[in-house]
Amino acid sequence: MRSERLLSIMLLLQTHGQLPAGELAGRLEVSVRTVMRDVQALSAAGVPVYTVRGPYGGIALLPGYRTNVTGLTAGEARALFVLLSGSAHADLGLGQAIGSALRKLMAALPAPYRPDADLASRRILIDPARWRGGPARAAGADLAVLQQAVFTDRRLRLRYGHGRNNQVRSYTLDPYGLVNKAGVWYLVADHRSEPRLFRTDRALSAAILDQPVQRRAGLELADVWDTVRRVIDDIPAPLLVTVSVRREILGKFLRLHQADLAGPPPIDPAPGTGHQPERVPVDLRFPSLGAAEILLDFGTDAEVLAPAELRQALARKAAQAAARYATDPEPQLPAAITRQPDRLPASAHAGSLRRRPGVTSSSSGCSGGSHRRTRHGRGSGSSGTGRPTRPITPTASTSPTSPPATGQPGSCASSTRTCTTGSPASSAPGSAAPPRSPAPACSARTLVSSATCST
């Protein structure tokens, strides 16, 4: 109505000061000629409105003039209470402020409109969160820091983790503002004079720089947001895909791929009316071949008819998945089991260990003498090549009356004592074999790397 339009012109001029006629026409969705006729009507009604000519001209009110608007209509009151019932204000730290504002607004409303406004707040609820969205991601950067950079017109240093490849990069940004879309906050900013979009829950840290923001002239948040939104929504050269969907799951398929439809959704005939086809063709569009591989989630309920390269790609993925699930999974042992222990358990003994290739030992026990290994014909005793070896000289700690510790399990040297590999033939002819005393058990690392123990 014209009366509402006249009131809107006064409120816009009172809020923004001087405005061009073209901008007023755009905000009110009328022509410039209609705006000029409304300005003449306001002037005739006693409103001090005037026009300024020239490239920097426009329409304005005399300084200090204020209109006294006593109340809102019932529809306007309901619209305000429904609009302000979301959770975005709490994310910005304005939850208590919006509650206080609603109470003041309710008290300022005319008495006949209060019941409608209160009923709207109790009967309509706006929940922007997605179904089964899971727990909210913890953001590294405080949303209050991003707000401060936006409101103070300062440049921002942002450390950001990309979701596609998990790379972390740092950016110096010129922010335009914050946008809440489907419950997710985005920062709209210029990076090197190019519009960019950043999810705030992927920001690892943010710091406000002591530099004024350098935005492109003539652009507002809504303009830049429309640009970056079109980059995501509009596919320049889409991949057209035709899918044959089983009729029983057609409703679910269309809900999940509503944004990918290349045309109007097919109409499923009601049960009992006309022919009921078993499968329904659906035309979709995807940005790439890899993005269309998500259709494999439906299995045989959705068959790709075209293009042929997508059918081949899905066939390869299905064959790989079948090969993977044809065999039992490999057992995953805990790290505590797969790690080599520093010492053997009490039940283990040296005889249970496998000897290293090329290393032999005699049936004698461990001694306190020097360690000799027989490897490739070398060591104490006679070798396979017939070359004589040096006999083992017992130490002073050996007892002349103690028998050899032959065949004792676990009789090996410690890290400071080593096991003998000599045979009884290595002693002098006619002399008795020197007795040996049993040695303590050695560790698993010593057994494998530096000693060969007798059995």
Q: Euclidean distance between the first and final Cα of the chain, in Å?
A: 107
CB burial string 206-239: b at 16+ within 10 A, e below? beeeeeebebeeeeeeeebbeebeeeeeeeeebb
User: What's the pLDDT score for residue 297?
Assistant: 93
User: What's the pLDDT score for residue 286?
Assistant: 93
User: What's the pLDDT score for residue 197?
Assistant: 94
Close Cβ partners of 18 (under 8 Å, ≥ 6 residues apart): 52, 57, 58, 59, 60
Give CA–CA dist 380/383, Å, rounded.
Answer: 8
Phi, psi of 405 (to 5 degrees): -85, 70
Give CA–CA dist 200/209, Å, rounded.
Answer: 18
List of the chain residues with pLDDT < 50: 338, 341, 344, 347-433, 437-455
CB burial string 154-189: b at 16+ within 10 A, e below? bbbebebeeeeeeeeeeeebbbbbbbbeeebbbbbb
Give CA–CA dist 157/170, Å, rounded.
Answer: 7
- Token pair recorded at residue 284: 């979709």
Has this prediction a pTM greater than 0.85? no
CB burial string 389-423: b at 16+ within 10 A, e below? bebbebeeeeeeeeebbeebebbbbeeebbbbbbb
User: What's the pLDDT score for residue 109?
Assistant: 72
- Token pair recorded at residue 36: 């000029």
Give the residue from 386, 381, 394 showing the smallest Cα distance to 434. Answer: 394
